[in-house]
Amino acid sequence: MAITSYEILDTTSDVTTTRTLLHESIPLTGTIISGTYGVFPSEENIKNYTHGQFQSVYDYPYLSSSANHIFDLAVGFDESSNMSKSAGAGPTGSGQQAKKINMYNQFSQVLLGYTGSNNTVRMFELDLSLDESGSIAKEAVFVNLSRLISKDQIKKGSFSITVGYGTWSAPFGAKRVLTDASASDNGGTTNTFGGDYGVLFDTSSNPRGLVFYEAGIVMLSTNSFANDSGLTPQFYAHPTYGNLNIIGTFLTSSISGACDAVRHRIENIAFNNTTEINSTIYFCRVPHNKYNHSANPTYLSASTIRVKNVNTDSPIAYITTIGLYSASNDLLAVAKVSEPLRKDPTNEMTLRVRLDY
């Protein structure tokens, strides 16, 4: 039946808007990334594509409808990298050198943009300045976190990734934790085309990578996987060429092959995501002298109000639902309380209905 009893909302005093940042803790363990759903490198939760430009990691065998996309992995290098000067030592085409350059350029142009009169793409620098000096990561691993888990952005100062740089057979025999602990909402970041980014430092404050918070992309330089004396010689046990360091891996392996090697060395990723919730709060003020009667058919027995014995008894009604209406009586939103609220002339209540967008 049509509702005929409405209470007008005063837009100045009964309606307000708020913005809330909701954070969730996201732990990604390395066992899901490598080894849980099959034998490395052919796990069922790892999806490779015929184009070979990146690799997708799921939290469950990806052919299942229950699988959720967690992140993508890609590798690339700048065309000024020494690697690009090599034709690749592997079988013809397996090096995918051009594609690796394309991948680096794509990340760079989206996250950093172009520079100079020639509009060349910037290179990733392991600091907060974009002056093309200092430590430049010409070769990089990219971890693209799915929107499903990164939501609106990664919370600044919450990101950490543990990578191993031990031998291939014992990758976590030597490992380091990279964090963006110096970043916060108040500083420690730089804003670029791709949004804010912070630097990933190891525990000795050596810069090893970048994290782009809004984009949900992590860039790891090859030195993330280097040991104290240089590149880890057994970064990847290539099925054809044997043990390779990370440069050799990048040179001789396809992108997906290099991604396999990287997956093998990610022990843990953890961060807090951020969801920005914009809310409108409607304060539904129920006055003491109204809404004490009901049109519910059970409210009457032989036209007599059931909750009364005599007319001087207080009327009682029970609220279970709040309907929010437009000026033309369209029901736009419905709110339910978890248990009936007793309403009688002795009480007045404000029901706070929040709609999130």
How many positions of this chain bind another protein (CB under 8 A)?
76
Q: Which of 222, 249, 253, 294 is the binder for another protein (CB under 8 A)?
A: 294
Near another protein by CB under 8 A, which window of 70-78, 79-87, 262-270, 291-299?
Answer: 291-299
Q: Report whether 55 contacts 255 (CB < 8 A).
A: yes
Near another protein by CB under 8 A, which window of 173-181, 208-216, 257-265, 306-314?
Answer: 306-314
CB hemisphere CA count around 126 (13 angstroms): 22
Q: Does 309 bind another protein (CB under 8 A)?
A: yes
Q: Does 282 bind another protein (CB under 8 A)?
A: yes
* Nearest distance from C-beta of residue 275 to another protein, angstroms: 17
Q: Find out whether the peptide bond into 315 is cis, omega within 30 degrees of 0.
A: no
Q: Does 66 bind another protein (CB under 8 A)?
A: no
309: Cβ–Cβ under 8 A, 6 or more apart, which residues?
A: none
User: Which residue, among 321, 339, 324, has the nearest Cα to 280 in the 3D structure?
Assistant: 324
**Can you point out the beta strands (E) in 117-265?**
120-121, 124-125, 136-137, 139-145, 153-154, 160-164, 175-179, 190-192, 195-201, 207-212, 217-221, 226-227, 230-231, 236-238, 242-244
Site for another protein in 15-34 (CB under 8 A): 15
**Whose Cβ is closer to another protein: residue 89's or residue 333's?**
333
Q: In which residue are the tokens 């699988």 written?
A: 67
Q: Which of 12, 205, 289, 350 is the binder for another protein (CB under 8 A)?
A: 289
Q: Which of 33, 70, 111, 316 is the binder for another protein (CB under 8 A)?
A: 316
Site for another protein in 317-356 (CB under 8 A): 317-343, 345, 351-355
Residue 114, H or E segment: strand 114-115
**Whose Cβ is closer to another protein: residue 261's or residue 286's?**
286
Near another protein by CB under 8 A, which window of 59-67, 150-158, 167-175, 288-296?
Answer: 288-296
Residue 31, H or E segment: helix 30-33
